[in-house]
Structure 1
């Protein structure tokens, strides 16, 4: 695990708030998110659909359309520079060169009318000022790096000529072609079978070790997080409800939602007859977010204060923190 606690993080996000204006009103998709990523670190962002994971990631890249989105407040500092105030032209220089992104569906993210080689070399020629021959050589190297056989031939093929797993590898090659400092992987194994998932994760793990690339891995799969990440951010209702190292989160979850996620997973070390425990209820309406804890209506530990006041992230020791009144020093008094 790469620790840089005494140094400035590569990426630092503070009080990020993002809303969408829709017919029903204002959807508060991201509500005061704070986290950081250190150099060479893999940070996992987990949570169920609609919790704000993808909106957060796309905001980091400044890819959310405006309108209907609005970045209401916050700060995103990348390599020491504030990027929320950068122009679109300045962001285009960052994307692909210092920040790369792997999207959920490579078939819709790749251009079907261009060869995969062309889609890799475009970035190289734009950001690294390579000529055509240099860019092609580099593109072949990248395809080999992500494990695509016959790269010299396949560079001239189109996305539809690749399988789902191979298309995802092409997306990784495009994202890493210019050696970005930060790679954002948004559900990189969605819709892939478990064998291909394992191969993609091995590629990411190897590239992290070889290139020291920082990675933000967005997923709902806690098994993937356990195998790849150093630290975890758990999101619910547009907020971070728990954060800590993988060991802390998996060994001693401090938020009932995190506990519920872990209990809903099948385990190999328990009896086959032991049922999985689902999280009952539905996520909060972010057009009208609750006054108190967003998880309170679904929480078996909810107290009176949970309905009225939204807790801040409370230090739980080590690097772990959770947005839950149960961790407050006066929790027993509040229960009474």
Structure 2
């Protein structure tokens, strides 16, 4: 199946008084029609910057698109004019932002905010736009939608504001929906309802979804494929089953070990990933995860590994997957901040 969205070798820097921050460093992934991609990783790894780059919402300056392409339905979004982006943004590609309270206009009624997108992108009367907005509020499960259309964001609960944001994103029936941590501030009951809602909507409209989250449980519940990012790069990607059952990159393994599971031994404590992500003002020469990796080798410090196919479409950027490393059966070592390494390779 032809990809709806292709991100190739995307590099984005931010100019600051302290120098250039290399926020996104050669990101590659694709999204097919009707599938859900989860993007996971620590805070600051470039997830939200990548999402905003797709929507072309990064202010330039300070943001600079240094290299690469973002191709949506045959259109290079980086090269697209602002007029073309206005046609696409909110109509063919929509985004659910992280915090609905700061994303909704506090001085405008919720119904009007949903109608605004319809009136901009579709030739229809205000009455038809009102009815469409009303139907969308019903679709996302907001009770008494006629009453809610006339209310302001502060009159909604947290879960209802998030549903209103989803309604705004879906009212024009986009082909691609980007959800940036849509359930972070919600309790588990509302989280489950929002996820179920997103799955139902996807079945009805075949909308492709990019889900950005820290919650691996949410990824397991809703996603088809997973992209793992670290320090502005993709370090591993594959299907949900491959990533959860056969992770190849030490960082992915660390993420999975640091979250509780129902089938884990309760007497064994969770294992955090020791250390901090690298400073993206001056990224390391070799593998970015080298200082925190329990399997670090000399080559990891000197050369950054490329993404390699390790079978069944799963790709990873790790020297442990090199045939020489596999032949030597590299063992785990204690790597306290990069102080000790495997010198065998």
TM category, shorter: over 0.9
- Normalising to structure 2: TM-score of the pair? 0.94
Q: CA deviation at 1:271?
A: 2.6
Which residue is 1:22 aligned to?
16
Provide the TM-score with structure 1 as the length reference. 0.97
Query: Equivalents in 1 of 2:27, 2:183: separation in Å?
Result: 25
Q: Which has the larger displacement, 249-258 or 192-201?
A: 192-201
Q: How much does 1:270 deviate?
A: 2.0
Which residue in the other structure is 1:318 paired with? Answer: 312
Write the distance in 2 (CA, Å) between the matches of 1:313 and 1:76.
19
Correspondences of 1:317-336 after superposition (within 5 Å): 317-331=311-325, 332=327, 335-336=344-345
Correspondence list, 1:236-247, <5 A: 236-247=230-241
Match in the other structure for 2:48: 54
Task: Give the 5 Å matches for 1:96-175.
Answer: 96-175=90-169
- 1:269: Cα distance to partner? 1.0
Indicate the residue corresponding to 2:217 in structure 1.
223
CA distance in 2, matches of 1:151, 1:224: 28
Tell me which residue corresponds to 2:340. none
* Aligned equivalent of 2:246: 252
Counterpart-to-counterpart distance in 2, 1:270 and 1:230: 24
Figure out how many residues of one structure are paired with residues of the other and give that number: 330
Provide the secondary structure at the position in 2 that maps to 1:243: strand
| Aligned counterparts of 2:147 and 2:260: Cα–Cα separation in 1 | 42
The match for 1:181 is 175
Once the two structures are superposed, residues 16-49 of structure 1 have per-residue CA deviations (whole angstroms, 9 ceiling, x without a partner) of 0000011221100000001000000000000000
Determine the C-alpha separation between the residues in 2 that align with 1:53 and 1:299. Answer: 21
1:246-267 per-residue CA deviation (whole Å, 9 max, x = no partner) reads 0000000000000000000101
Over the residues paired in the alignment, what is the CA RMSD in angstroms?
A: 0.9
Long gaps (5+) in structure 2 = 329-342
Cα displacement (A) at 1:272: 2.1
User: How far apart are residue 286 of structure 1 and its match?
Assistant: 0.5
Report the counterpart of residue 268 of structure 2 in structure 1: 274
Structure 1 stretch displaced more, 16-25 or 229-238 = 16-25
**2:302 alignment partner in structure 1:** 308
Answering whether residue 201 of structure 2 is matched by residue 199 of structure 1, we say no
